[in-house]
Amino acid sequence: MKKVITLLLGLIMAGSLWAESLTIYSGRNENLIGPLVEKFKSESGIDVHIRYGKTAQMAATILEEGKKSPADVFLAQDAGALGAVSKAGLLQALPEKILAKVATRFKAKNNNWVGISGRAFVVVYNTDKVKPEDLPKTIEGFTAPEFKNRMGWAPGNGSFQAFVTAYRKVHGDAAAESWLKGIDANATKQYPKNTPILAATGKAEIDLGFANHYYLYRFKAEQGEDFPVAIYLIPEGEIGPLVNTAGASILKTARNKAAAEKFINYLLSEDAQKYFAESTYEYALAFPELSDSRLPTLDSIRTPDLDLSDIDDLEGTLILLQKAGIL
Amino acid sequence: MIWKARLSYYKRQVYFNVNSQGANKASWYLILPSALLAASCLLPLAYLGLRAMQADPVVWQILWRPKSLEALWHSLLLTATVTFSSVIVGLTLAWISVRTNIAGRKAWSIILALPLVFPSFVGAYTFIAAFGSHGMIANLLGIEKMPSVYGFWGAFMVLSLFSYPYVFLTVRAALSKMDPNIEEAARTMGKSQGAIFKDIILPQLNPSIQSGALLVALYTLSDFGAVSMLQFDTLTRMIYVQYESSFNRTGAAFLALSLVAITIIILLLNRALRSDRVVKSSASGKIRPPRMLKLGRWKIPALLLCIAILSLGLILPVSVIVYWMLEGINNGEFLYGGFGIITNSVLASILAAIATIAFVIPSSRLQTKYPGKLANFTENAAYLSSALPGIVIALSLVFFSIHALPGFLYQSLAVLVFAYMIHFVPHAMGCLRSSFENIDPNFECAARNLGAKESQVVKSITLPLLKPGVITGAALVFLTCMKELPATLLLAPTGFDTLATRIWSATEEGFFARAATPALCLVLVSGLSIWIILSQEDELLS
């Protein structure tokens, strides 16, 4: 009997050693990253288990799981979620080899996460209703009364809150609050997230809105090139378009560190970066030159002078948004 | 009023019988599962308590401000109005499709339950796509300005349209098994149709209206999909915002506890409205089919009403989904198959329905047959966490299942089914309670007096009389699980996709064309199940 059990245990252990496996929690949508994961699976022979969900809920799940989390890798849509998990002490430092692939402004100071792809938070406008030359040169210009009843935003959305957090870092809470109140005073319509803003701008339900750049190209791919919306990059002022990143991290409790590193390496490879650039219209952070030619180049986007790791104080932004009576 | 005197005599007799039965002690096979169920349903509350205790002072800043009070007011307003309109619509449609000679009565009595199959975020999406400014209707009619769909009215319309079937289904079941003898008696005594409805039928329908209305109220309180799409700030939406933007689990816990407080108020209200004693069926064996009301000049309005609700609640969302599909095909979008994952959805939902019924039968038997402290406790516990948004239930089970269960159970189908069960217990409990209440204890007594063993009584008397309630309850749990999202995302085995998660992941990123196939599959599979279930129920009763 004992022998049989030993044999069985041996077999099970041998089996688990033989099949290298990797568990990923992904806040990144399956439609955006699924094909890449499949490709990695077949190329590396690693058995990948991936759970999809909303970034914030995935982060909350990891926080609840604590040290018992079955996840090896956490992929997030934005730097804030990675910051929150990192603050709880659940992430480990990534190897230099991986970190070196991406510019300093797109990774964590404490080396706990690395940016994979970037998106610019921009102004989108309906080309039938708005001429770009009539748009203000600074973000503050949108508080002018001429924009009353014409704009849309998603103050509950992570991308927007990251933008406000950056604003707070650069100009302080008081200025951020008065900007928010100014936009709100223009009877700006609230949307739950970016896609409805794009749809509403396309239908001229609103003339312009604040959203991530890539949604525009995705709408064009689905609804045709004549979708009447274009991107406006704010040319002046200290706060221009903010480039936020989707990033990857390895949990401290990861059981398969080697496989996890392999996966993140793959996400930063030319192949995968090309995929992001072509299928999701994001900026390829490890190979910026691969980004879609219709986009303004990454270097030409003036981002606020701050580190993305510093804009994980979404909680402070939330309180500010609530104080301003917006959320 | 001779007939009224008779009725009250009849009621008193039943009352006496019920009381004389209560003297027996409940046996372990009722108590044990009831207690287990109650304890399970209290898990989310325990979790919230734990999280709330870690609160730091900043939480109070968040909670005590006008915006929170406004959200509280919005939650109350929306719940009250949606419940009211659902009762009116559900009751009217159930009456028309069960008791009148409307054309296509049988078909209506099934079709009108179908809006239940849509997850509320899909309902809201399609509503905006159709009625939004520059939406499909505006384009069709060439109107520039449409009244805004956002805010209270949009949320009210969408939630009413997609949750009235809760009332429709529970009332429909009660109407079809109602004993026509009492109203016949009243009729022979010269009562008008209106008086019969008010004095005889409505009191008999009361338990089922109450249980349907309770489901609508709890659903509205916990809904996130519709209120977020339609931009109406409720407590549930605030809870999601807490998780979304600050990973603030304590702030969310406090808001969730205030939802529990509202639930308690609703439950108290529900108890108060529940009639003291219920009219029991006096018919032995098969119930005669009730007399059909001739609609006469009401024929056209009744038909128009049914068609209007059908167009808004079924045809509209289905056409929007088909429109997405065609649009995608036009632009060469690859249409995601939804077929492989149908089995996942169906498997998890069926298991949840079976598990729920298995625990709810003993629990509601205990509640109706042995009223007392224990029975009350088990019933209250089952309802307390049912107005919580799915994300709260899901996170609480993440917490408990990873820290208290052996590792292999974490993120297993068993835990997912368990989550579905504690989330949707009320869906089955209302139906089964009213079924048990409608069983005349005289039958069981008679069988016992004739020397039948307890097991024989249960098998040949109780269970057959219970069947319609079991079917409706299981159907409600099944259909609600089919569209459940937050718990499925967090607790299902890794890689276990369902129709609902597929629809969500596609719409979340604006890939409407890819959402079309799984959405149509969901409508077809759920619709087909409603069809089968209701036809079976009708067969049982005829």
- Give the confidence band of B334 by pLDDT, cuts at 50, 70, 90: low
Q: Please indicate, yes or no, whether residues A103 and A150 belong to a single structural domain of this protein.
A: no
Q: Please indicate, yes or no, whether residues A319 and A195 belong to a single structural domain of this protein.
A: yes
Q: Please indicate, yes or no, whether residues A109 and A253 belong to a single structural domain of this protein.
A: yes
User: CA torsion angle for A103, A107, A113, A119 (degrees, to 10)?
Assistant: -90
Nearest to B248 among A215, A315, A323 (CB): A315
pLDDT above 50: residue B335: yes
Instruction: Specify the CATH number for the domain of residue A271.
Output: 3.40.190.10
Find tokens 């610019």 and name the residue.
A120
Phi and psi torsions of B495, nearest 5°:
90, 0
> Is the Cβ–Cβ distance between B96 and B102 less than 8 Å?
yes
Q: Please indicate, yes or no, whether residues A90 and A131 belong to a single structural domain of this protein.
A: no
* Residue at A306 is within a domain: no
Which amino acid appears at position B252 of this protein?
A
> Average pLDDT for residues B510-536, to the nearest whole number?
86
- Provide, as residue numbers in chain B, all residues whose Cβ is less than 8 Å from the Cβ of A50: 494-495
For chain A, say whether B231 makes contact (Cβ under 8 Å).
yes
Q: How far is A277 from chain B (nearest CA, A)?
A: 16
Percent of chain A residues past pLDDT 90, beyond the cut: 58
For chain A, say whether B326 makes contact (Cβ under 8 Å).
no
- Give the confidence band of B292 by pLDDT, cuts at 50, 70, 90: confident
- pLDDT (0 to 100) of residue A237: 83
Closest Cα to residue B150, out of A206, A159, A220? Answer: A206
Q: How far is B70 from chain A (nearest CA, A)?
A: 11
Write out residues 63-122 of A within 8 Å (CB-CB) of B. 63-66, 68-70, 80-81, 84
* Cα B173-B176-B180 angle, rounded to 5 deg: 135
Q: Please indicate, yes or no, whether residues A162 and A183 belong to a single structural domain of this protein.
A: yes
Q: How far is A123 from chain B (nearest CA, A)?
A: 18
N-to-C CA span, chain B: 33
Q: Please indicate, yes or no, whether residues A319 and A200 belong to a single structural domain of this protein.
A: yes
Q: Quote the crossing angle between the two packed helices A194-202 and A214-223, to the nearest 10°.
A: 50
Residue to test with chain B: of A33, A54, A188, most B Cβ within 10 A: A54
Please tell me the distance from the alpha carbon of residue B168 to that of residue B131, in angstroms, as a whole number.
25
Write out residues 181-220 of A within 8 Å (CB-CB) of B. 189-193, 195-196, 198-200, 203-205, 215, 218-219
* Secondary structure string (H, E, C) spanning B518-538: HHHHHHHHHHHHHHHHHHHHH
State how many domains chain A has.
Answer: 2
- Provide, as residue numbers in chain B, all residues whose Cβ is less than 8 Å from the Cβ of A60: 243, 247, 249, 395
Q: B246 vs A314: CB contact, 8 Å cut-off? A: yes
- Provide, as residue numbers in chain A, all residues whose Cβ is less than 8 Å from the Cβ of B402: 64-65, 68-69
Q: B512 vs A222: CB contact, 8 Å cut-off? A: yes
Q: How far is A50 from chain B (nearest CA, A)?
A: 6
Q: Please indicate, yes or no, whether residues A187 and A272 belong to a single structural domain of this protein.
A: no
Q: A327 vs B67: CB contact, 8 Å cut-off? A: yes
For chain A, say whether B241 makes contact (Cβ under 8 Å).
yes
- Give the confidence band of A183 by pLDDT, cuts at 50, 70, 90: very high
pLDDT digits (tens, 9 = 90+) for A251-294: 999 999 999 999 999 999 999 999 999 888 899 999 999 998 88
Phi and psi torsions of B373, nearest 5°:
-60, -50
Q: Please indicate, yes or no, whether residues A98 and A184 belong to a single structural domain of this protein.
A: no
* Residue at A5 is within a domain: no
Percent of chain B residues past pLDDT 70, beyond the cut: 87
- pLDDT (0 to 100) of residue B216: 96
- What does the block give as tokens for A50? 């991936």
Q: Which residue ranges make up each domain of chain B?
A: 39-279+294-541
> Is the Cβ–Cβ distance between A101 and A284 less than 8 Å?
no
ipTM score of complex: 0.83
Q: What is the CA radius of gyration of chain B?
A: 24
Q: For B39-279+294-541, CATH number?
A: 1.10.3720.10
- Give the confidence band of B336 by pLDDT, cuts at 50, 70, 90: low
Q: Please indicate, yes or no, whether residues A29 and A104 belong to a single structural domain of this protein.
A: yes
- What does the block give as tokens for B175? 């109407």
pLDDT above 80: residue A66: yes
Q: How far is A241 from chain B (nearest CA, A)?
A: 20
Q: E-assigned strands of B457-537?
A: none
Q: B398 vs A64: CB contact, 8 Å cut-off? A: yes
Q: What is the CA radius of gyration of chain A?
A: 21
Residue to test with chain B: of A117, A222, A282, most B Cβ within 10 A: A222
Q: What is the pTM of this model?
A: 0.85
- Give the confidence band of A109 by pLDDT, cuts at 50, 70, 90: confident
Q: Please indicate, yes or no, whether residues A132 and A269 belong to a single structural domain of this protein.
A: no
Which domain range does residue A59 map to? 20-116+245-296
DSSP one-letter code for A23: E
> Average pLDDT for residues B12-29, to the nearest whole number?
56
* Residue at A3 is within a domain: no
- What does the block give as tokens for A25? 């929690």
Q: Could you tell me which chain A residue has the CA closest to the CA of B145? A: A205
Q: A323 vs B244: CB contact, 8 Å cut-off? A: no
Phi and psi torsions of B260, nearest 5°:
-60, -40
pLDDT digits (tens, 9 = 90+) for B451-497: 888 788 878 888 888 887 888 889 899 999 999 999 999 999 988 99
- Provide, as residue numbers in chain A, all residues whose Cβ is less than 8 Å from the Cβ of B229: 192, 196
User: What is the full DSSP assignment across A43-67?
Assistant: HH--EEEEEE--HHHHHHHHHHHGG
- pLDDT (0 to 100) of residue B141: 80
> Average pLDDT for residues B365-394, to the nearest whole number?
88
Phi and psi torsions of B248, nearest 5°:
-90, 95
Q: A315 vs B501: CB contact, 8 Å cut-off? A: no
Q: Please indicate, yes or no, whether residues A124 and A259 belong to a single structural domain of this protein.
A: no
**Residues making up chain B, counted from first to last:** 542
Judging by beta carbons within 10 Å of its beta carbon (0-12, 13-18, 19+), is residue B144 exposed, middle or buried?
Answer: exposed
For chain B, say whether A52 makes contact (Cβ under 8 Å).
yes
Q: Please indicate, yes or no, whether residues A51 and A84 belong to a single structural domain of this protein.
A: yes
Looking at A5-14, B47-56, B314-323, B341-350, which range is the least confident one?
A5-14
Half-sphere exposure of B61 (CA within 13 A, CB side): 13
Q: How far is A219 from chain B (nearest CA, A)?
A: 8
